[in-house]
Amino acid sequence: MKRVLFLFFSIFYSNFLLAQQKPIKIFYEKSEEGFFFYANNNEQVPYTVKINFQNLENLKAESDERSFIRTIPAKVTNQKILELKKIKENKGTSFDFNFLYNIGDPSLIVDENYPYLLPYKHGKKARVGQGNNGSGTHRGINAIDFNLEIGDSVFAARDGLVIEVKDGSNEGGDDPKFEPYGNFIKVYHDDGTLGSYVHLVQNGSLVKKGTQIKEGQLIGISGNTGWSSGPHLHFMVAQNIDFQNITMPVKFINYEGKLFIPRESKSYYAYHPGKPEFEVEDSFQESKFEAEFKPSDLSNEIEFDSEEYGDYVLIYVNNGMNSEMSGVLKLQLKNLISTKKLPYKFTVPAKTKMYLLALSPDDEASSFGYQLSGEFK
């Protein structure tokens, strides 16, 4: 008795593609000798598929393998990818299969030394809040968080094709439950890597899917949507390795034309070739702050304040009392260096906010912090 064909079919895909609407379709047609398998790719970029056969009875491909990897070019229909032939003509056939897919072409060579542009305004200096494999949400991930404010411009770090945009969300917070609400732009590069610009404001994408963008082009507006503890731009680049999107420690170009990998707690000027020259202030001039005395905004209170300034944390004393006050500043430091010897004694005039000292990260530090206390008299 001739046996009938049994087919069981399932699809698996990477987390990166959850928002995609089935870009790849795999189907088959019966032939005189067995079955032809075809693929359709609805997207403007190539995909790689892996077809797995759990059961393959009285059928075989050119080899005895049961797993096959194929690259599907962009915008193709009825792309023949596989043929299964009967082993014995007088026997029935049966098979079941599933497939997984991910964006990209594994034959492309990833340019690990590509000079990315810092993705903010030319001449602007921004601090890295969290770097590659950071101690917070970047553990095990190569990504850079640039401390941009809500409304700051976001520029393309590299040429590419926009493959996905989300900008309808207005929700965010410092909790993993907000991760699905992050607005983003995803860009496919010509070496098969994927760039992501995340946490944009609502309606903050200035490009749409299918847009071919150039490096240095204004593409979005920074925000604070999704899983975020404060306004910043999360930038990362990933490549498809064994159907997983693996993040890369990419290199950026600075105003001296040198490549570097941004480090946590450091600040960097964005340099976009072809733009006008700008003034660079890399040295910290503490005397400038020591000479500044600001009026206090407090009433009958005295407290310490801190402000970020490039790579430094500036510590102030804010005296809202009606009389001069003396005190001692005490600090417990983790991977930080003080510009002045601690504990630090000071005298601050009445109704005055006065600079005390600055803290800068140790060059070898991956994370830093401090605890502050003081005594007044």
* Averaged pLDDT for residues 144-167: 97
310 and 347 housed in the same domain: yes
Confidence band of 360 (pLDDT split at 50, 70, 90): confident
Same domain? 67 vs 166? no
* pLDDT higher than 80, residue 18: no
The answer to whether position 186 is within a domain reads yes
Q: How confident is the model at residue 9 (pLDDT cuts 50, 70, 90)?
A: very low
Are residues 326 and 190 located together in one domain of the fold? no
The pLDDT tens digits for 75-85 are: 999 999 999 99
- Report if residue 188 sits inside a domain: yes
Report pLDDT for 110.
95
Q: Looking at the predicted structure, is the pLDDT value of residue 10 above 90?
A: no
- Residue 174: which domain range? 115-269
For residue 276, being part of any structural domain is answered with no
User: Is 181's pLDDT higher than 70?
Assistant: yes
- Predicted pLDDT of residue 5: 40
Q: What is the CATH number of the domain that holds 23?
A: 2.60.40
Shared-domain flag, residues 253 and 166: yes
For residue 226, tell me if it sits in a domain.
yes
Question: Within this chain, do residues 70 and 134 fall inside the same structural domain, yes or no?
Answer: no
Same domain, 173 and 310: no
Average pLDDT, the chain: 90
pLDDT at 47: 95
Predicted confidence band of residue 3 (pLDDT cuts 50, 70, 90): very low
Residues 82 and 160 grouped into a single domain: no
Residue 142 is part of a domain; what is its CATH number? 2.70.70.10
pLDDT tens for each residue of 264-295: 888 899 999 999 999 887 678 899 899 989 99
Q: How much is the pLDDT for 284?
A: 82
Task: Report pLDDT for 239.
Answer: 93
Q: Average of pLDDT values for 348-357? A: 96
pLDDT at residue 364, rounded to an integer = 54
Q: Distance between CA atoms of 361 and 264, rounded to whole angstroms?
A: 9
Position 109 in a domain: no
Whether residue 4 is contained in a domain is answered as no
Confidence of residue 366 (pLDDT cuts 50, 70, 90): low
Nearest-angstrom CA–CA distance, 219 and 152: 11
Examine the domain organization and report whether 291 and 219 are in the same domain: no
Is 216 in contact with 241 (CB distance < 8 Å)?
Answer: no
On whether the CB atoms of residues 265 and 361 are closer than 8 A, the answer is yes
Same domain, yes or no: 26 and 155: no
Out of 58, 82, 103, a domain closes at 103
Let me know whether 237 and 151 are in one domain.
yes
pLDDT band at 20 (very low <50, low <70, confident <90, very high): very low
**Whole-Å CA distances, 319 to 118, 212, 326, 354:** 40, 55, 10, 8
Same domain, 167 and 213: yes
pLDDT at 16 over 50: no
- Ranges 12-16, 21-25, 250-254: which has the least confidence: 12-16
DSSP 361: E
> Does residue 69 fall inside a structural domain?
yes
Mean of pLDDT values over 160-189: 96
Give the model's confidence band at 99: pLDDT under 50 very low, under 70 low, under 90 confident, else very high: very high
Nearest Cα neighbor of 199 from 180, 213, 218 is 180
The total of other beta-carbon atoms located within 10 Å of residue 67's CB is: 10
pLDDT at 22: 80
d(CA 159, CA 120): 15
The arithmetic mean of pLDDT across residues 30-58, rounded, is 93
Q: Point out the domain boundary residue: 74, 103, 132.
A: 103
Which tokens go with 185?
A: 């732009």
Whether 207 shows a pLDDT value over 70: the answer reads yes
Q: For the chain, how many structural domains are there in total?
A: 3
Flag whether pLDDT at 7 surpasses 70.
Answer: no
Rounded to whole angstroms, the Cα distance separating 170 from 25 reads 33
> Is the predicted pLDDT of residue 342 greater than 80, yes or no?
yes
Query: In the predicted model, what is the mean pLDDT of residues 14-39?
Result: 77
In a domain, 280, yes or no: no
Q: Which of residues 77, 103, 129 is at a domain's end?
A: 103
d(CA 283, CA 61): 66
Query: Do 265 and 321 share a structural domain?
Result: no
